[in-house]
Structure 1
């Protein structure tokens, strides 16, 4: 054997190593049990991969993003093996890793039930305990077709690869069929026999024993390749983690997320509903939800004005031609509702406000002295979302967008984007969100037909956004291909109280809509020439509806006093004390506090319990002794109570809490 040199790449160092030919990746990490795969020259590989001279090798830890994906995909294979042990007639679909877990699709005669998942888990544990080896082998299309002739969905995927249409396959199909050589993974049992095989690109764990903790979550129907014209398969969802503790934490987060589900809390707290008579994805706000919505809108409108924005208003519909001019119909037409016939002409419900703001800019001659010109509105927009993706308030068809557009010179663009980013982050902090990172969405150069504009313009716009993001000091995550058709964007990703990430603000650099072949926007420069402005789109919350849904879950319905629909619940000990508390309530109302008096026939303890269930921040309880002392018993949402608090002091406490905008 001869010697070869490889570079072992660590997080903060690079180590040159001399090894013999035939060395496998695992030999570099034999002393580190957390490493379950390797990145060799930038590509993910099994630990059994043989290293070549000059290779750069980096270990992939099981608790990294790539490591978890590999763990979960390997667990999906074990699940599919267990299913075919129990149901030999089951035919295999695809089984990719997804966020926080994995799934696998099966063609079976009878849908799975919860008891089936228990049986599958038991079979999986036996496979894991046996320590079956994941063994990769290269095959040809012809050999794979022959070997998998009884698996019609795998045969179809091989055909897609051969036709060059593998990108058309369902999400996760790329895990099964990659570009270039075709590979199959065999599960080798302790006797050295092939226990099960699957068409797969890999990589995988070395053995099934490296699966520390998993759980099957649920089953559901799913169309093959996501197309409702195809056969409906049965999909089993599961999750796998690097330790039992990590799995337990994930399951706790799921339980906590269910407890915080804004759809349930919206119903329990009487905030909003989704009447079938109105239609899917079209919420209505009840009086209490209306209070939250109004408080948010009033606050954000005031903040926009303080930040130099001018409030405008535009209609809900417009002639179809407007959206051809903007480019939305050619590039975003599937997200818009079909045309409306108005006086024999086609109109469209607007899905965005920017075309109308452009017309406001263009309504008269503009001077460079007016720039930045900042226009803002709560614009009602409508998007033709598919029914399968609609989810409460967080994915709707009709919503109010806190939409703004800044018209600036190219030189002003960096400062304006920084101004907008600071504005967005400040708003989120005002609403109790303070854990962020940024995502930079750029164009996909391999799909030029999905984007408009010159390479030079894209390069300039992307660099401006990237520089501002880096200057912010926040973590910056790339999102290749995620740009809008007219320009790159940066989005603020906020983490809520239980660590989930929500996309909030977007800031987009648009050099296309102002152009001569679009809206032909111009301003008069200092030298008298006419110049094209840059247009910067910004939605702070994305939509009021979605942000309310996020806040309901972030606070689990227990809003800070300034946002709470009812800030004080007045509770009389007996009927004789009702009038006293109505007088207290009038004083609270004069101080701008939202208060209700519970004058029902319920006993006092039940009234307190009802106020707690409605998550009211403060309660003022009054009996005979309180009346005699001109006081109340002041009770907090968490159950703390102080007796004999003067009315003046009680009102002052509530007002101070509301004005502080902090949680109590």
Structure 2
């Protein structure tokens, strides 16, 4: 007799071993039909999984996040099944679940075409409608290697060969297709109904550029038709908002193969950059930070002492001079410690807050570069707070409040909070990590923030809070961070004189609000679809004359607004006014002021706001008051 405990606390007795599917059927026919898998004592399993002892069980349906995971994993196998049906000579390799979908890598003699992708998707639909049962079996490692070699699947055989001798591996079959996989999977292909293949790209076998180039087919899968349609709509909207396209259309920046992974900022884009930087500089000034600036190139010895050389060496750009090895800094923290060490610091000086717009370099893989979102040269609004242990909690509480205000000013109000705890490879004692993790969690509780735990995701020197904002499309961007570090200052011999005259290492709080300015500006561009709010817009006002007779007045108004600190320009070209309005509307200028003879005579302007809003005729003072209020309110 065994007892199965369900999520509501009730228990169901069974005479002997029972499968997850049988338990679902015992509860009701409706649940049995909807079931996709189960969680047995927390582990995700197939419906065919045999429960042989007392256990806790949750039946997984499409209403659960695990259900979507099962659907996507199984749809990746369905993709491979369809490819093998249409292209028998293709070899299958790996096919994991990824965010919003899945992919599968194939080795084939020629590139897949868009027509091939369409045919594969049709074949997937045909196979799904067959509702073929998905069955699991287990083979000894060597037998599995021989099996896949016999099928001509060399990549699968190589994968299995990396498993220790004597081990067993699991295979899943659906119809004529069988694949190596840990599972779990949906019970039959008929559960897979709402999917779409998205694109094909190149990918090296096992991610190593020295290996063969494979073809990676990406797809998406959802539980309902409505979810799939909504996702495709979001993708379409995201494409319209793509910062790379808008960056070119709005003349903000460009990327160039002469310097991959770096950004060439154009005058308009650099204006946006400066607005963000100057805003953050005011944040520094108004919240007790002292701005500092460290060098770009630092001796390898410092990176070894700080621990970064061991962890990040492969991502560092290095150079050599006078038989000494240097690295372009990938982060700013060791430099700030060297600044802290200059002169004697007392407990009375703490907390000491340093802030820097520090340019960093990291040798990101070429395939990982993405517009200005993922680059090799970037600037952080990087800050470090040197404090005592007793100061950690109040500093973190104040910081969270500050971060929330900054995000709100940039148009983000939906923030997610995550505490990343100690990783397996770390420095410092468990006692120190206990203190640091407790301080971060308690600071969020006192700030009234709900948070989740990310076990093992902390930095090697300390745990951290990750602040993630949601944009207009519901996408998540992790930007801000607060890290508690008991170790690095001590490793670099930094101390302060305590109240009892002893020398103690300070606790170091690593913090950034927007993170990489390049990435944050890319997020802003996509959040606002290029239509940046008036306070950030590179050109805030255009004064367009209807004819040559108002050119002098348009230029006068522009100069007057410029003296008020506005980014204004006059358009006195001989083009028709409708053309001028359209041209500046496409450039997403917040305000276009049209001036004709009547406006010139009355010292007024006809105001058009972005979005084709006609605000009517205003006196110059009234318009100045309006745009000043917009800028002050950050709208």
Q: Structure 1 length as normaliser, TM-score? A: 0.92
2:50 alignment partner, SS class: coil
Partner of 2:9: 14
Map of 1:485-634 to 2, 5 A cutoff? 485-515=460-490, 518-634=491-607
Cα deviation for residue 163 of structure 1 reads: 6.3
- Equivalent residues of 2:420, 2:457 under 8 A apart: yes
Distance 2:468 2:530 in 1: 21
**Structure 2: which 5+ runs fail to align?**
none
Superposed displacement of residue 34, structure 1: 4.6
- 2:231 is equivalent to residue 238 of structure 1: no
- Residue 162 of structure 2 aligns to a residue whose secondary structure is helix
Give the CA deviation at 1:262. 0.7
Q: Distance in 2 between matches of 1:423 and 1:327?
A: 30
Residue 331 of structure 1, CA deviation: 1.8
Counterpart residue number, 1:154: 156
Q: Which residue of 2 aligns with 1:185?
A: 172
1 CA distance for matches of 2:447 and 2:18? 44
Aligned-CA RMSD value? 1.7
> Secondary structure, in 3 states, of the residue corresponding to 1:552?
helix
The answer as to whether partners of 1:629 and 1:644 remain within 8 angstroms in 2 is no
Whether the 8 Å contact between 1:101 and 1:238 is mirrored in structure 2 is yes
CA distance 1:181–1:478, change in 2 (3 Å)? farther
Deviations 1:574-593 (A, max 9, x none): 11111111122122122221
Aligned to 1:410: 389
Q: Distance in 2 between matches of 1:400 and 1:237?
A: 32
1:41-52 alignment runs, 5 A limit: 41-52=41-52
SS in 1 for 2:51: coil
Q: Deviations over 1:540-577 (max 9, x none)?
A: 11111111111011111101100011111111111111
Show the 5 A alignment for 1:112-127.
Answer: 112-127=112-127
> How many angstroms does 1:643 deviate by?
2.8
Deviations 1:584-631 (A, max 9, x none): 212212222111111223211111111111101111111122223332
Distance, in Å, in 2 between the alignment partners of 1:381 and 1:4 is 59
| Aligned partners of 1:393 and 1:549 also within 8 Å | yes
Structure 1 residue aligned with 2:73: 73
Q: Deviations over 1:192-217 (max 9, x none)?
A: xxx21111111111111111200001
Tell me which residue corresponds to 2:444: 469
For structure 1, which segment, 581-590 or 535-544, has the greater mean C-alpha deviation from structure 2 after superposition? 581-590
Matches of 1:299 and 1:565, distance apart in 2: 15
Structure 1 unaligned blocks of 5 or more: 165-179, 189-194
Higher mean alpha-carbon deviation, 98-107 vs 142-151, is at 142-151
Task: After TM superposition, give the deviation of residue 60 of structure 1 in Å.
Answer: 2.1
* Aligned mates of 1:616, 1:34 — CA distance in 2: 52
Question: Residue in 2 aligned with 1:31?
Answer: 30
Quote how far apart the aligned CAs of 1:20 are: 4.0
Aligned twin of 1:167: none
Question: Aligned residue for 1:211?
Answer: 192
Instruction: Check 1:161–1:466 CA distance in 2 against 1; reply closer, same or farther (3 A cut).
Output: farther
SS in 2 for 1:536: strand
Distance 1:536 1:283, change over 3 A: same
Separation in 1, partners of 2:551, 2:570: 8
8 Å CA contact 1:23–1:50 kept in 2: the answer is yes
User: 1:487-524: CA deviations, max 9, x gaps?
Assistant: 12121111111011111011111111111xx2122111
State the Cα distance separating 1:63 from its structure 2 match: 4.3
SS in 1 for 2:6: strand
Whole-angstrom CA distance in 1 between matches of 2:373 and 2:620: 41
Specify which of 259, 272, 278 is matched with residue 253 of structure 2.
Answer: 272
State the Cα deviation string for residues 392-415 of structure 1 (Å, max 9, x = none).
111111121111110111111122
What CA distance in whole angstroms lies between the structure 2 residues aligned with 1:145 and 1:7?
39
* Shift, 1:25, TM fit: 1.6
Q: Which residue of 1 aligns with 2:294?
A: 314
1:134-533 equivalence runs, <5 A:
134-149=134-149, 150-162=152-164, 181-188=168-175, 195-277=176-258, 279-341=259-321, 343-445=322-424, 448=425, 451-515=426-490, 518-533=491-506
CA distance in 2, matches of 1:80, 1:288: 47
Instruction: Tell me, yes or no, if structure 1 residue 657 matches structure 2 residue 630.
Output: yes
Taking the aligned partners of 1:444 and 1:79, their CA distance within structure 2 comes to 36
2:418–2:452 contact (8 Å) kept in structure 1? yes
Q: How far apart in 2 are the matches of 1:286 and 1:611?
A: 18
Secondary structure in 1 matching 2:556 = helix
Report the CA distance shift for 1:63/1:340 in structure 2 as closer, same or farther (over 3 A): farther
Q: Does the CA contact (< 8 Å) of 2:141 and 2:165 recur in 1?
A: no
